[in-house]
């Protein structure tokens, strides 16, 4: 301890925790006790500084790799400006002042971390402030300071490595280890029921959980704005209602005022409410399961509403996103002098958008009629597996009967045990083969029945669609929905006809016709149609013209120009 004749040294005490876990463990209190012992041992007088003017400055839950957001940054500015001139900066460890980030993958963060550490050291050296820690005073210009700073950085790497390993382990154990708030409707609970050492699990929030289904129902009813208005009127607390220090909050914000943006976040993350989410952490994918809040039907309804919203805002043509040229290029819609053209970017050809969409919709209607016709034909057939199942049962019963006769002969002492064993091996083999064949045929029959039930459902839906087209003109969204279901993720392929000479414009000549091919659908092969030929000439024997004739006569399908004139004369 310094003698009474020496001048008293002044100082500022600084404490910092880097994580919320450290703050909850009350390490600020532990650091304060250590700093008090250092102050008493080295006879340091704290200056009137800090929030309480008692010479103490602290940062709770703040990383030491940067100065932004730290109370220490203000202390450093005051020391540099000469507002305060302490002899010592009292900390229990040099790592509390700064740690150089050596692990981040972001270049700007690495640069900012090194610049912050260099600025801290420069200010301490320039103002003659020493660091007082448990091993005694350290001059910022000394080799010891540089070594301790390097060791602090290595310690940070070890801490980060242990943190990453712990999160990976918890994710592998189906524990929730993602930062921030859990999805709306859930809450985090300690996996061991006591503390956070073993991570968290997700459980349904008893208050917010039941409200989620109502929010999604309002969304499906009228979109995010409608759902936000209904939630506000119902007084539902928002996801951020428990956040007291909201930055950039509106002046009239209240905990029950919902924003459409909040609903959009929930809608975009709706898959997470099925009870499973996939997280990629440290290059590895982890699947986390927890109680589901919605059914697959609700999820499908939300996705339909979201797609409908996108289509209404962005799509103005039937062909957008559904058609490729035979050369492999995606079909583009080009506007020239207020006229739209369906054009191949590679210059294969071009056609007026109205004519092209008419031809495309014509082949879509023909495919629907073909599906209806095919399913009616298939549904009328008998069970194709009946004879095979009957034959397999017969072979199985025959093998069982022969085994029974063989046992009776052995019991009557008409054959010895060696003959019994030899014949029984062969009969058992036949029995097992017959049983395996019967099981396979039974599975195939059940699959066939299930498929036929699905086909019957398809036939009913197709019939309803065709009846709808006879009553009214389908909207663009309706047409696109039908075309998307028929393509099943694939593309319609077009081939432009030979260009007309003298009509070239902007590098692509107008084509007299297009040949459109829809991909295979179920058991049906690809369907091709050429726009300059009548439908009956191309679809004779492929599509029954009875239903198609009714649709054309209804005048709503938009395909009349492609139909043989005899329809209009009848």
- Does one domain contain both 421 and 565? no
Quote the pLDDT of residue 89: 92
- Read off the pLDDT of each residue in 533-551 and give the average, rounded to a whole number: 64
Strand partners, 504: 509
- Does one domain contain both 411 and 482? no
- Does one domain contain both 149 and 66? yes
Residue 199: pLDDT band with limits 50, 70, 90: confident
Residue 26: pLDDT band with limits 50, 70, 90: very low
Is residue 236 predicted with pLDDT exceeding 70?
yes
**Angle, to 10 degrees, between the axis of helix 296-314 and the axis of helix 476-487?**
120
Phi first, then psi, for residue 44 (nearest 5°) are -100, 135
Other Cβ atoms closer than 10 A to 540: 9
Q: Where do we find the tokens 């054009």?
A: 343
CB 160 within 8 A of CB 153: no
* Token reading at 8: 């008293």
- Does one domain contain both 373 and 473? yes
Q: What is the pLDDT of residues 453-506, one digit of tens each?
A: 554 555 567 777 777 777 777 888 788 888 888 887 788 999 988 765 544 444
User: Is residue 323, in this structure, part of any structural domain at all?
Assistant: yes
- Does one domain contain both 221 and 78? no
How many distinct structural domains can be found in the chain?
A: 4
Q: Identify the domain containing residue 229 by its residue range.
A: 186-242+253-304
- Does one domain contain both 148 and 81? yes
Residue 307: pLDDT band with limits 50, 70, 90: confident
Q: What is the DSSP letter of 198?
A: G
CB 142 within 8 A of CB 130: no
Three-class DSSP category at 105: coil
Within its chain, how far is the Cα of 43 from the centroid?
60
Quote the pLDDT of residue 178: 66
**Which of 401, 432, 457 is where one domain is finished?**
457
* Distance between CA atoms of residues 133 and 128, nearest Å: 16
Long-range residue pairs from 290-293, CB within 8 A, at least 24 positions apart, any chain: 290/176, 290/186, 290/201, 290/202, 290/203, 291/202, 291/203, 291/204, 293/185, 293/186, 293/204, 293/209, 293/212, 293/213
Q: What is the pLDDT of residues 142-164, one digit of tens each?
A: 888 888 877 776 766 666 667 77
Three-class DSSP category at 168: helix
Residues 6+ apart with CB under 8 A from 280: 286
* 126 CB-side CA count, 13 A: 12
Report the mean per-residue pLDDT for the chain.
78
Q: What is the pLDDT of residues 254-296, one digit of tens each?
A: 888 898 888 888 998 888 898 887 777 666 777 778 888 888 8
Quote the pLDDT of residue 283: 67
Three-class DSSP category at 445: helix
- Does one domain contain both 166 and 39? yes
- Does one domain contain both 372 and 490? yes
Tell me, letter by letter, the H, E, C secondary structure of 4-28: CCCCCEEEEEEEECCCHHHHHCCHH
CB 65 within 8 A of CB 113: yes
Quote the pLDDT of residue 506: 47
User: Is residue 191, in this structure, part of any structural domain at all?
Assistant: yes
Quote the pLDDT of residue 3: 47
Percent of the chain with pLDDT over 90: 10
Q: Among residues 93, 210, 206, which one has the least CA distance to residue 152?
A: 93
Whole-angstrom CA distances from 136 to 29, 35, 37, 340, 556 are 21, 12, 12, 81, 91
* Distance between CA atoms of residues 40 and 46, nearest Å: 11
Q: What is the pLDDT of residues 95-126, one digit of tens each?
A: 788 777 766 777 888 888 888 888 888 999 99
Is residue 562 predicted with pLDDT exceeding 50?
no
* Distance between CA atoms of residues 315 and 320, nearest Å: 7
Is residue 360 predicted with pLDDT exceeding 80?
yes
- Does one domain contain both 85 and 55? yes
Q: What is the pLDDT of residues 408-455, one digit of tens each?
A: 888 888 888 888 888 888 888 888 888 888 888 888 887 777 666 554
* CATH at 97: 3.40.50.1390
Residue 230: pLDDT band with limits 50, 70, 90: very high
Q: What is the pLDDT of residues 364-374, one digit of tens each?
A: 888 888 887 77
* CATH at 425: 1.10.287
- As a whole number of Å, the end-to-end CA separation of the chain is 117
Residue 570: pLDDT band with limits 50, 70, 90: very low
Quote the pLDDT of residue 1: 43
* CATH at 294: 3.90.1750
Tell whether the torsion through CA atoms of 24, 28, 34 and 40 is positive or negative. Answer: negative
Stated as kind and residue range, the H or E segment containing 90 is: strand 88-90
Angle (nearest 5°) at CA 57 between 52 and 61: 120
User: Is residue 416, in this structure, part of any structural domain at all?
Assistant: yes
User: Is residue 311, in this structure, part of any structural domain at all?
Assistant: no
Residue 86: pLDDT band with limits 50, 70, 90: very high
- Does one domain contain both 448 and 533? no
* Distance between CA atoms of residues 14 and 61, nearest Å: 14
Instruction: Determine how β-strand 9-16 pairs with β-strand 44-46.
Output: parallel
- Does one domain contain both 54 and 138? yes
User: Is residue 248, in this structure, part of any structural domain at all?
Assistant: no
Quote the pLDDT of residue 31: 84
* Length in residues, the chain: 570
Strand partners, 339: 336
Quote the pLDDT of residue 29: 79
Pseudo-torsion of CA 24, 30, 36, 41, nearest 10°? -160
Is residue 377 predicted with pLDDT exceeding 80?
no
Q: Identify each DSSP E strand in 339-471 by its residue range.
A: 339-343, 350-352
User: Is residue 4, in this structure, part of any structural domain at all?
Assistant: no
User: Is residue 159, in this structure, part of any structural domain at all?
Assistant: yes
User: Is residue 297, in this structure, part of any structural domain at all?
Assistant: yes
- Does one domain contain both 357 and 402? no
**Angle, to 10 degrees, between the axis of helix 71-81 and the axis of helix 107-126?**
40
Q: What is the pLDDT of residues 315-351, one digit of tens each?
A: 677 888 789 999 888 887 766 666 778 888 888 888 8
* 499 CB-side CA count, 13 A: 15
Residue 12: pLDDT band with limits 50, 70, 90: very high
Q: What is the pLDDT of residues 505-541, one digit of tens each?
A: 444 567 888 899 998 887 788 888 888 877 666 766 6
Stated as kind and residue range, the H or E segment containing 466 is: helix 417-471
* 76 CB-side CA count, 13 A: 20
Three-class DSSP category at 218: helix
- Read off the pLDDT of each residue in 537-557 and give the average, rounded to a whole number: 59
């Amino acid at each position: 301890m310094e003698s009474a004749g020496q001048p008293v040294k002044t100082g500022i005490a600084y404490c910092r925790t880097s994580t919320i876990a450290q703050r909850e463990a009350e390490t600020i209190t532990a650091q304060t006790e250590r700093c008090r012992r250092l102050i008493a041992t080295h006879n340091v007088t704290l200056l009137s500084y800090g929030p309480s003017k008692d010479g103490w400055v602290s940062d709770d839950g703040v990383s030491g790799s940067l100065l932004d957001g730290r109370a220490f940054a203000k202390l450093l500015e005051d020391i540099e400006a000469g507002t305060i001139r302490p002899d010592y900066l009292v900390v229990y460890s040099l790592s509390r002042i700064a740690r150089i980030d050596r692990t981040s993958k972001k270049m700007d963060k690495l640069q900012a971390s090194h610049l912050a550490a260099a600025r801290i050291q420069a200010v301490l050296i320039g103002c003659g402030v020493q660091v007082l820690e448990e091993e005694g005073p350290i001059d910022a210009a000394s080799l010891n300071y540089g070594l301790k700073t390097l060791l602090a950085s290595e310690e940070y790497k070890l801490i980060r490595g242990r943190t990453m390993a712990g999160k990976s382990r918890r994710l592998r154990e189906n524990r929730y280890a993602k930062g921030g708030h859990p999805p709306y409707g859930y809450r985090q609970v300690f996996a061991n029921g006591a503390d956070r050492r073993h991570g968290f699990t997700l459980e349904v929030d008893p208050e917010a959980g039941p409200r989620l289904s109502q929010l999604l129902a309002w969304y499906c009813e009228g979109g995010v704005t409608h759902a936000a208005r209904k939630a506000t009127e119902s007084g539902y607390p928002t996801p951020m209602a428990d956040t007291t220090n909201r930055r950039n909050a509106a002046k009239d914000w209240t905990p029950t005022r919902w924003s459409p943006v909040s609903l959009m976040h929930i809608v975009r993350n709706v898959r997470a409410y099925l009870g499973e989410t996939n997280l990629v952490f440290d290059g590895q994918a982890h699947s986390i399961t927890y109680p589901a809040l919605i059914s697959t039907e609700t999820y499908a309804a939300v996705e339909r509403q979201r797609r409908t919203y996108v289509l209404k805002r962005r799509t103005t043509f039937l062909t957008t996103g559904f058609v490729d040229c035979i050369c492999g290029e995606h079909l583009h819609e080009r506007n020239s002098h207020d006229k739209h053209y369906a054009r191949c970017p590679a210059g294969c050809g071009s056609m007026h958008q109205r004519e092209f969409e008419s031809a495309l919709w014509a082949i879509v209607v023909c495919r629907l009629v073909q599906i209806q016709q095919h399913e009616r034909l298939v549904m009328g057939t008998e069970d194709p597996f009946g004879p095979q199942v009957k034959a397999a049962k017969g072979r199985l019963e025959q093998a069982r009967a022969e085994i029974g006769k063989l046992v009776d002969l052995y019991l009557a002492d008409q054959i010895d045990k060696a003959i019994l064993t030899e014949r029984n091996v062969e009969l058992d083999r036949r029995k097992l083969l017959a049983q395996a064949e019967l099981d396979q045929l039974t599975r195939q029959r059940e699959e066939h029945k299930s498929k036929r039930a699905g086909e019957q459902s398809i036939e009913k839906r197709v019939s309803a669609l065709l009846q709808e087209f006879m009553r009214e003109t389908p909207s663009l969204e309706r047409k696109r929905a039908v075309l998307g279901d028929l393509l099943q993720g694939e593309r319609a392929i077009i081939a432009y006809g030979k260009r007309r000479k003298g009509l070239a414009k902007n590098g692509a000549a107008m084509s007299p016709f297009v040949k459109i091919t829809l991909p295979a659908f179920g058991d049906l092969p690809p369907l091709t149609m050429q726009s300059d030929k009548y439908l009956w000439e191309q679809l004779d024997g492929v599509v029954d013209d009875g239903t198609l004739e009714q649709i054309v006569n209804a005048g709503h399908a938009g395909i009349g120009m492609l139909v043989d004139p005899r329809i209009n004369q009848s």
